[in-house]
């Protein structure tokens, strides 16, 4: 897994009924974009993460309005 600052991590719920969570990567601490990552969840909680197979990287994209 590789991620960059600004990317979003989509963490799928592991238990039936548990909702997916999204976290923004605010710091990459591993080599070449690898984990661990410092992330911020929607509720403002920050933590270090080494995502597992239940996590998907959503790359940050810049859109321009013209």
The tokens describing 39, both together, are: 């992330």
What is the pLDDT, as a whole number, of residue 63? 65
CA–CA dist 50, 23 (Å, integer) = 12
What is the pLDDT, as a whole number, of residue 1? 87
What is the pLDDT, as a whole number, of residue 57? 95
Mean pLDDT by 10 residues, the chain (66 residues): 95 82 96 96 95 91 65
What is the pLDDT, as a whole number, of residue 4? 95
Q: Is the pTM of this model over 0.75?
A: yes
Q: Where are the domains of the chain?
A: 8-58
Partners of 23 in the β-ladder: 9, 41
């Amino acid at each position: 897994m590789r991620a960059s600052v600004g990317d979003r991590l989509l963490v799928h719920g592991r238990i039936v009924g548990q909702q997916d969570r999204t976290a923004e990567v605010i710091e990459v601490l591993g080599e070449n974009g690898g984990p661990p990552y410092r992330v911020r969840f929607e509720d403002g909680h920050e933590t270090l993460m080494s995502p597992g197979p239940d996590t998907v990287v959503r790359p940050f994209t810049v859109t321009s309005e013209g």
